[in-house]
Structure 1
């Protein structure tokens, strides 16, 4: 698997999308490498490009990741269903 690693990227060099809960980084193919915040919290360190076979290793510390927001959106949606 190490042969398929295109590069090692510091998480600070990646872009975080709080809406989708993913980090992404440009891929040479024109798409982008992606890895979810949940995968990172679970110890996964390989971001994949959905358009080609390249992968990158993400260098990060779990304790430095954004904190979970507590699922307030899920609670709000459930409250709305019960109220309706």
Structure 2
């Protein structure tokens, strides 16, 4: 099983001021969304399109 990932710079995200959310369209077709509150270390962030959880730290 191959795993592919890449680091994305925050400057590559689109920012929505109304919701204070950063959005990034992943090449796999997924849409990543991160709010300012989710930048806290150790916070569990539910993945938007799967049952997995992401941990930002």
Between structure 1 and structure 2, the one with the greater Rg is 1
Task: Compare the two structures and name the one with the higher strand fraction.
Answer: 2
Residue 48 of structure 1: how far off its partner (Å): 6.7
Gaps of 5+ in 1: 58-84
CA contact (8 A) 1:17 1:23 kept: yes
Could you tell me the TM-score, scaled by structure 2's length?
0.57
Task: Compare the two structures and name the one with the higher helix fraction.
Answer: 1
Superposed CA deviations along residues 13-64 of structure 1, whole A, max 9, x for unmatched, are 11111111111100223x4111111112x246xx7751246x7x8xxxxxxx
Gaps of 5+ in 2: none
1:1-84 to structure 2, matched below 5 A, reads 6-27=5-26, 28-29=28-29, 31-40=30-39, 42-43=40-41, 49-52=47-50
Quick one: higher RCO (CA 8 Å, sep 6+), 1 or 2? 1
Runs of 4+ in 1 over 3 A off after TM superposition: none
Number of residue pairs the alignment of both structures matches:
48
